[in-house]
Amino acid sequence: SIVQARDNLDVLPSSLGLFKAQQRMVLEMAREEIFRELFAEIDGYDYQLLDCAPSVSLLTVNAVAYTEEVFIPVSMEMLALAGARHFMRYLRDISRVLGRGAAIRLIVPTFYDPRRRVSETVLQSLIADFGSRVTHPIRIDTKLSEAPGSGQTIFEYAPGGRGAEDFARLADLVERMGPLASGSG
């Protein structure tokens, strides 16, 4: 069930039930439409974010079928870059099969460390492939991994840190961009 985590932030946390639901999806007709049906009654939100693993699963197919746009985080490692490219092909395949699909709205470079050459190499590859859809990178910051353990957002845990600064910049960008032309938020 939906939980109010903060003012203006509700979450629908994952649980063992989600794993069981995925197992049941295998037997369902029109299983790629399950999220559409489940979330049909949810309204009143400016944004709905679905945080999915970049894997080939029924949950991912449902998320792509449900949403209109995708933000793809890419860790600044060569294998992560290859995985992101594979996932983007997977998105195109799902869209083709369903006759509709989620647009790749933003590519979000994560774990960016300017001291490491691979970070710059991967970032430049993303920019070459996706141009203006690549956001300012989210820099590596130990506070980002510590915050969840304290039950806090990065803005509560380390409001003056790099992580908070980078995520605030990303949130501002998303807000300025607004919804896609089709009108979803």
pTM of the predicted model, to two decimals? 0.83
Tell me the DSSP string of 140-181: --HHHHHTGGGT--HHHH-TTSHHHHHHHHHHHHHHHH-S-T
Q: What is the structure's pLDDT at 72?
A: 93
Q: 72 and 37 in contact (C-beta within 8 Å)? A: no
Q: What is the structure's pLDDT at 185?
A: 42
Task: Using pLDDT thresholds of 50, 70 and 90, give the confidence band for residue 18.
Answer: low
Q: What is the structure's pLDDT at 145?
A: 96
Q: What percent of the chain has pLDDT over 70?
A: 83
More confident residue, 20 or 167: 167
**CA-wise closest residue to 70 among 43, 38, 42, 94:** 94
Strand 69-75 to 103-110 pairing: parallel
Q: Which domains does the chain have, with CATH numbers?
A: 16-177 (3.40.50.300)
Say which residues have a Cβ less than 8 Å from residue 134's Cβ, sequence separation at least 6. 106, 107, 109, 123, 126, 127
Residue 117 has pLDDT above 70, yes or no: yes
Rounded to an integer, the average pLDDT of 91-102 is: 82
Give the tokens for residue 51.
């945080």
Q: What is the structure's pLDDT at 184?
A: 44
Q: What's the mean pLDDT when you consider all of the chain?
A: 85
How far is CA 131 from its chain centroid? 19
Q: Map tokens 């380390």 to a residue.
A: 158
What DSSP character marks residue 77? S
Residue 119 has pLDDT above 50, yes or no: yes
Rounded to an integer, the average pLDDT of 75-100 is: 89
> Tens digits of per-residue pLDDT, 64-73?
778 888 899 9
> Tens digits of per-residue pLDDT, 33-81?
667 766 777 777 888 888 887 777 777 777 877 888 889 999 999 999 9
Q: 135 and 107 in contact (C-beta within 8 Å)? A: yes
Q: What is the structure's pLDDT at 183?
A: 45
